[in-house]
Structure 1
Amino acid sequence: MAISTPLRFVPEDGVFALMTIDPVASLECLHDPEALAMAASLTFNDYLVFVPGTNQSRNLEAPYREEVVHFVLPQRPNDVPERFIDAAMSVPIHPTLDETHPEREPLETLGEFPWPGCFLSPFIGATVRTRIMLSVDPIVCELALSQRKRWKRYEKEDRHRQADREVEVARSIWSSTDSGYESDSFGTITNNINLSCGSVGADKHSLIDGGHIELEFAPIGLGEGELDIPLTVTFTHDLKRMEEMSDPFEFFLEKEALERIGREALERNKREVGSRKIKQSRILPLQVEFCDQSGRMPRFLPSLFSTAAVALVAYLYLVWTSKEMAAIAPLKSLVVPALSKHTATVIFVHGLGDSGLGWQPVAEMLNKELPQVKWVLPNAPTMPVTANGGMVMPSWFDILSFGFDSKEDREGMLKTVYSLNQLISAEVDAGIPANRIVLGGFSQGAAMTLLTGLTGERKLAGLAVLSGWLPLRANFKSMVSDHAKSYPIFWGHGAADPLVRHDLAVKSVDFLRESIGLNTSPRCRRADRAILQLVSWR
């Protein structure tokens, strides 16, 4: 089976696409299929459909088989067999990012659907329960519908031209604002002072003249008419007086001033650019580095190792960290309202690559059993995930290895803890007591559920952990709250989970029981209907 590369498809006529899956190509495209569909001018009534990968003996000129046509009709959007969904959610395989032939797992089929030989997408954490599924293969796709719908792929030169057009669009959008920057500065890279933040940049007039500052902008999510173009703009700042500084305190005052500029830029990222609004998809930590033109650090820095200077550095770092946390944008959430009087809230945190929308059917199903409960389903920001080859996807923190035994993204985890605590505070402010709020999550979201619930100031009604693990175990005892050991916790885990292994969950449970005497339910007994047990656990 040939390995394909990420390609962009454009409809010539019609709104249906039938494409094959590839473990490398699908990673980039599947992280936000709805956004990609919007970029292709599709609507939520249009469908991109999973089909088997190609092989060397297949006639690439032939149209795809008629058996799948019923699957893509927008009038019948629920024709996805349930076992097909379950298999795609629970049997992911690890992709290979080199040129070797990737191993693939056969997809469990329902009868003859789609047909024997179908392969499962190895995208880790992908959700096919959303309204759009996407996979790609470098061939022209034809559908045998009532009238033919054709999709064509860009040739290499077409894709290069498309990339050039996107750069020009970014330049024109930036030059259309009142900031006064020349388009020549787009994409310029400097190394003198780096100030990174996750939004459109600061106003020229708020900066000190001279020198260089680079603002790097995170990719901006596409949705509801928003822009999807990363921007990089270079500013200037005079470094001469930095060389004349002899007092470390002056240095850190300067550093704090530049970081304040970055925070002000974050606040301005909601302004309109033309007729479209910028949407901040994630916030990078503000980082400022000073050096002279040769790349050397200022000569006074060795004095920072004095006791007083170290204390000052620690104090300024703590102050800056608290301010940085306060600048984190609130999470956007999908809300499923209570069917009767609202007296309780469940905040449920999705897993890697998913969204709140992926858990909406579960919330709506359980709403019938729990009519007094409002469901808050937050959406993770998008970020590069190291373990997935740096692909950008919805994630609560960076995962450095799927072995979960390497260095952890402590900073990213703590930012998510802060954001989830904001959601809890919002419910309390709305009149729901903390002891009527349950925090739950799946996989990566379950890890954040544990970390947030067991370290938070408020004692919630309980925690629901599905296929999760305890992160930051090395530091956990110093972080845990006084009431953590009295927390009721429902803990369920798939015994055959290939990603977050069952033994990792068992080790996490054992650690919590031994370290703080935590009580969990069920006590590692086998259960076929975990969701029903979770409902009865209330």
Structure 2
Amino acid sequence: MAATRPVRKFRMCAVSPSGKQSASVLFLHGSGDTGRGLRAWVKDVLGRDLAFSHIRVLYPTAPSRPYTPMRGALSNVWFDRHKVYQDCPEHLESIDDMCASLGSVIQDELNAGIPKHRIVIGGFSMGGAMSFHLACRQHPDVAGVFVLSSFLNKDSVVYQAVEERLQAGRSLPELLQCHGTSDDLVPHQWGEQTSALLRRAGMNASFHSFPGLHHELCLAEMELLKSWILSRLPDTGSS
């Protein structure tokens, strides 16, 4: 009998709704950060928490693991990379392992009575790349996926998964993608090319450029994200 993968428990930071919860957002941080750190950053940019009357916002922290771009030093990363470069192959073993682990977070929301179509998945930088894999390959029936300052490798298996699902007549989550034009860590063109390839594959994707923005969050981007989340997860009035 094959060994059962142990369920990983994440350190979790969350913003509860002011009323009755009817939806959830999973917001993944970038490499080297924490869920608590991302929440604090979002709060600093917005001047308040990313909070809703009916949506719970979850900020898990990636486990510490050796990270190849840092010469094997330990870091809070969702998966390993050979290099932070668009042409490199994906480190699928670590990506798929984390998809399975984050599935437990989604299952917890389902167990709490939140249906899959009332969940949105997204993230910043590496968290955005993780969100592509989690939403498009493993949980394509979520309400949406948002990706901030991120990209997919040129030969990503996500593109194939999107094409195969759409060719089979099955739906995919709507994508919101944002990127700063002055990003000196993840070039704007990488994000733009990712969005173009996903649209070519048939995905409903919107791409928004923010002039002068580096590898960071900004108020206009956060306000756009909040409005988009509400469009995907409207208040049903049950609260």
TM tier relative to shorter chain: 0.7 to 0.9
Q: Which residue in 1 is equivalent to 2:11?
A: 332
SS in 1 for 2:199: helix
Deviation at 1:344, TM superposition (A): 1.2
Q: Which residue in 2 is equivalent to 1:393?
A: 75
Write the distance in 1 (CA, Å) between the matches of 2:191 and 2:140: 25
Q: Which residue in 2 is equivalent to 1:346?
A: 25
Among 212, 222, 225, the alignment partner of 1:531 is: 222
SS in 1 for 2:59: strand
What amino acid is aligned across from residue 345 of structure 1 in structure 2?
S
Write the distance in 1 (CA, Å) between the matches of 2:179 and 2:152: 13
Write the distance in 1 (CA, Å) between the matches of 2:146 and 2:139: 18
Write the distance in 2 (CA, Å) between the matches of 1:351 and 1:455: 20
SS in 1 for 2:165: coil
Q: Which residue in 2 is equivalent to 1:497?
A: 183
CA deviations over 1:103-157 (Å, ceiling 9, x no partner): xxxxxxxxxxxxxxxxxxxxxxxxxxxxxxxxxxxxxxxxxxxxxxxxxxxxxxx
What amino acid is aligned across from residue 14 of structure 2 in structure 1?
V
Higher RCO structure (Cα 8 Å, ≥6 apart): 2
Scaled by the length of structure 1, what TM-score is found?
0.37
Larger strand share, 1 or 2: 2
Write the distance in 1 (CA, Å) between the matches of 2:74 and 2:90: 18
Q: For the structure 1 residues 423 and 471, does the alpha-carbon distance in structure 2 shift closer, same or farther, using more than 3 Å as the test? A: farther
SS in 1 for 2:142: coil
Q: Which residue in 2 is equivalent to 1:365?
A: 49
Q: For the structure 1 residues 491 and 347, does the alpha-carbon distance in structure 2 shift closer, same or farther, using more than 3 Å as the test? A: same
Larger Rg over CA atoms: 1
CA deviations over 1:330-366 (Å, ceiling 9, x no partner): 3232122112111111110111000000122326522
Write the distance in 1 (CA, Å) between the matches of 2:89 and 2:140: 29
SS in 2 for 1:491: strand
Q: For the structure 1 residues 327 and 443, does the alpha-carbon distance in structure 2 shift closer, same or farther, using more than 3 Å as the test? A: same
What amino acid is aligned across from residue 335 of structure 1 in structure 2?
A
Q: Which residue in 2 is equivalent to 1:16?
A: none
What amino acid is aligned across from residue 179 of structure 2 in structure 1?
H
Q: Which residue in 2 is equivalent to 1:277?
A: none
**Structure 2: gaps spanning 5 or more residues:** 212-217, 231-239
Write the distance in 1 (CA, Å) between the matches of 2:106 and 2:63: 18
SS in 1 for 2:50: helix
SS in 2 for 1:482: helix
Q: Which residue in 1 is equivalent to 2:165?
A: 482
Q: For the structure 1 residues 464 and 494, does the alpha-carbon distance in structure 2 shift closer, same or farther, using more than 3 Å as the test? A: same
Q: Which residue in 2 is equivalent to 1:463?
A: 145
Q: For the structure 1 residues 510 and 458, does the alpha-carbon distance in structure 2 shift closer, same or farther, using more than 3 Å as the test? A: closer
Write the distance in 1 (CA, Å) between the matches of 2:171 and 2:177: 15
Q: CA RMSD in A?
A: 2.3
CA deviations over 1:219-268 (Å, ceiling 9, x no partner): xxxxxxxxxxxxxxxxxxxxxxxxxxxxxxxxxxxxxxxxxxxxxxxxxx
Q: Which residue in 2 is equivalent to 1:356?
A: 35
What amino acid is aligned across from residue 503 of structure 1 in structure 2?
Q
SS in 2 for 1:473: coil
2:201 is the alignment partner of 1:519: no
SS in 2 for 1:506: helix
Identity, in percent, stands at 30
What amino acid is aligned across from residue 382 of structure 1 in structure 2?
S
Write the distance in 1 (CA, Å) between the matches of 2:38 and 2:125: 13
* 8 Å contact kept, 1:338–1:374: yes
* 8 Å contact kept, 1:385–1:393: yes
Q: How does 1:407-486 map to 2 (within 5 A)?
A: 407-457=89-139, 459-471=141-153, 473-480=155-162, 482=165, 486=172
* 8 Å contact kept, 2:62–2:77: yes
Deviation at 1:485, TM superposition (A): 5.5
Write the distance in 1 (CA, Å) between the matches of 2:155 and 2:111: 31
Write the distance in 2 (CA, Å) between the matches of 1:459 and 1:485: 7
What amino acid is aligned across from residue 365 of structure 1 in structure 2?
D
Count of aligned pairs: 213
Q: How does 1:271-282 map to 2 (within 5 A)?
A: none
Q: Which residue in 2 is equivalent to 1:271?
A: none
Q: Which residue in 2 is equivalent to 1:403?
A: 85
**Structure 1: gaps spanning 5 or more residues:** 1-318
Write the distance in 2 (CA, Å) between the matches of 1:519 and 1:421: 23
Scaled by the length of structure 2, what TM-score is found?
0.80
Q: Which residue in 1 is equivalent to 2:196?
A: 510
